[in-house]
Amino acid sequence: MPKDIRLALKEIGPDGYKVRHAPAPVASRGASGSSTGGFSEKPRRKPLGPGQLTKSRYMTGVTESKREMWFEARGELSPDVGERWRMEQGNLVSELAREEFPDGTFVGGPPSETQLQPTRPLFEVRFSVGDMTIRVDVLRPAPSDGWVLTEVKSSTMTSRSSRKRARQDVAFQAYVLSEAGLPLQGAEVMHLNPEYVHPDGGELFARTDLTGELGEQIQEARENAPEFTSVLDRDEPPNLWPSRACNTCDCPEPCHSLPEHSVLTLPRLYYGHLEEIIEEGRWTLEELQGHSHLKPKHENYIQAAQAGEPYVDTSEVRDALSELEYPLYFLDFEAIDYALPPFEGTSPWEKVPFQYSLHVVKEGQPLGREEVAHKEFLGAGEGDPRRPLAERLVQDIGPEGSIVVYNATFEKGILEDLQEAFPQWEDRFESYTHRLWDQGEIFQEGHYVHPSQKGSWSLKTVLPAFDPDLKYGDLGVQEGMEAVVQYSRMISPETSDSKAREIEEDLLAYCKRDTWAMVVIRRSLSEIAW
């Protein structure tokens, strides 16, 4: 096993591996300036010049935009904390995948003439053709003369989007290899098996053969490559305005000027409808009013933005709040997902809850002056946090009352997984899922719309409309993926006790802020509705 992977994995014989996750001692900062500490600091390869079309840049070009590809090539777009976590997990998977080819050779650059004789697998092989450069995860000898390209993915390849991206990724590599004159006989994706259960429930890796199925994607790469290399060679980024891509562009410099509220801030507008409206040249809210593609939630948003005050459908809000049954349990989980599942009974990328916050409001007290109890849990140590979390949760949540969450899909999934993992509490967790009440639906459906939300219904954008002083900027942890990374850092044996306590306090404060925000929002909505 390579030396660097031993920092993260410890073999325990036939039962597989144990993930230790040794994070970095120093935090790094992304383009946004927010702390993303907790990632391992490994020597980075010397970056290629901005004019080179790499696999990563090609994928940004086909899945995001040519403008983002241009900025990425110049180091002006950095992966966010979630992307960095997935990249770190992907590195572990790639290194472990090499163990499947025990006679392989690590190349880490251009292959020699001797290595190009198909006698043994090669790892991290670089090929350059003109302005295109790729680094192939694994090249293995084909059964007959030639090679098979093996792309390693940390994904389980269960979603349509992940399968599409993998085909585009492999097709670009196959195109470059054909241009380099390499005799390629096959192509495949080696990915995590979604059916694998740690420690010995099946094979960790699965393979998807793409040989003979990439004609359309290879032709796409053949057509895109000259245009992409031309874009990368420019001194200025391409201007995409006007296009649908403007809706999700993360580039540091805008290429257009729009008012604060526009077609791009309409909440949850279908992409197809957005494209049609853009083609019609309608951008401002005045131009959009009455459009056939707008739904009531869009019209509600336009009304709120133009009036400069909230739009409230009092009847809908009152009906929603009337569903609540006391006592009220305001619940929020935090969960970590590992590509390589470290705990018995878990699968790749399964969400493992490690923390919850719970605010409890009892009946019979004046609105705004209720006695609110707070309970919380945070797993400690390297072990599986699910059992102690489940034991505490069944003590903290009683047999009756609504369980208030924000975006119930996540919490429901966690509760269903706990129900399956701990059959002794099956009835309790099943009752919890039936008692969930999703506060976010009021905002998602447009029953309450504040101009400051700018089309978003996330808790962090909704909260300032009800309490401008209650924000997340003063917290050491400010969003969910940062909580994941910091938790992995907190439980690492390489983190000092004092630093672990500091992270613990930050995690508890963050999760508590989420559930308290729901308490504040519920109070305010009740005052509006009655």
Cα–Cα nearest to 134, from 164, 99, 176: 176
Q: Which helix (H) or strand (E) holds 323?
A: none
Q: What does the mean pLDDT of the chain come to?
A: 89
Q: Is 444 helix (H, G, I), strand (E, B) or coil?
A: helix
What is the average pLDDT across 343-361?
Answer: 97
The predicted structure's pLDDT at residue 163: 96
Give the pLDDT confidence score for residue 504 in this predicted structure: 97
Question: Does pLDDT of 76 surpass 80?
Answer: yes
In the prediction, which pLDDT does 22 show? 33
Summarize pLDDT for 458-514 with one digit per residue, the tens: 999 999 999 999 989 999 999 999 999 999 999 999 999 999 999 999 999 999 999
pLDDT for the residue numbered 259: 86
Among 258, 477, 523, which residue's Cα sits nearest to residue 365? 523
- What's the whole-number mean pLDDT along residues 177-182? 97
What number of CA atoms fall less than 13 Å from residue 350's CA on the CB side? 25
Chain segment 439-468, per-residue pLDDT in tens: 999 999 999 999 999 999 999 999 999 999
The answer to whether residue 4 scores a pLDDT higher than 90 is no
Q: What is the pLDDT of residue 392?
A: 98
Cis peptide before 327 (omega within 30 of 0): yes
For 335-361, what is the mean pLDDT? Answer: 97
Residue 179 burial (10 A CB sphere; 0-12, 13-18, 19+): middle
Q: Of 32-46, 161-175, 309-323, 443-457, which gets the smallest average pLDDT?
A: 32-46
Judge whether 357 and 514 are in contact, CB under 8 Å.
yes
Identify the three-state secondary structure at position 400.
coil
What is the distance between the alpha carbons of residues 161 and 167, in angstroms, rounded to a whole number?
10
From the list 208, 212, 82, the residue with the least C-alpha distance to 153 is 208
pLDDT tens, residue by residue, 202-218: 999 999 999 999 999 99
36, 81 Cβ separation under 8 angstroms: yes
* pTM score, whole prediction: 0.88
Q: Is the pLDDT of residue 12 over 90?
A: no
- The pLDDT of residue 366: 67
Q: Among 423, 333, 340, 342, which Cα is nearest to 381's? A: 342
Backbone phi and psi for residue 228, each to the nearest 5 degrees, phi listed first: -65, -45
Per-residue model confidence (pLDDT) at position 26 = 30
End-to-end alpha-carbon separation of the chain, Å? 65
Q: What is the pLDDT of residue 363?
A: 83
The secondary structure of residue 9, as a DSSP letter, is E
**Is 323 buried (19+), middle (13-18) or exposed (0-12) by CB count in 10 A?**
exposed
Q: In the predicted model, what is the mean pLDDT of residues 403-431?
A: 97
* Cα separation, 486 vs 500, whole angstroms: 9
Residue 304 identity (one-letter amino acid): A
Q: 189 pairs with which residues across the strands?
A: 151, 208
**Does residue 11 register a pLDDT over 60?**
no
What pLDDT, on a 0 to 100 scale, did the predictor assign at position 34?
Answer: 38
- What would the pLDDT profile of 287-327 be if each residue is shown by its tens digit? 998 999 999 999 999 999 999 999 999 999 999 999 999 99
Tokens of 309: 């005050």
**The predicted structure's pLDDT at residue 38:** 47
pLDDT at 169 over 60: yes
- The mean pLDDT of 367-394, rounded to a whole number, is 91
CA angle 402, 408, 414 (to 5 degrees): 100
**Residue 405: CB atoms within 10 Å:** 25
Q: What is the pLDDT of residue 371?
A: 86
Closest CA to 485 of 334, 345, 376, 332: 334
Q: CA of 222: how far to CAs of 96, 175, 215, 409, in Å? A: 32, 7, 10, 41
Q: How confident is the model at residue 271 (pLDDT cuts 50, 70, 90)?
A: confident
Residue 401 has pLDDT above 50, yes or no: yes
Higher pLDDT, 3 or 243: 243
* DSSP sequence for 483-498: HHHHHHHHT-TTS-HH
The contacts of residue 354 (CB under 8 Å, 6+ apart) are: 334, 335, 336, 378, 379, 385, 389, 487
Which pLDDT does position 9 carry in this prediction?
Answer: 36
Q: Which residue has the higher pLDDT, 42 or 427?
A: 427
Structure confidence by residue, pLDDT tens digits, 217-226: 999 999 999 9
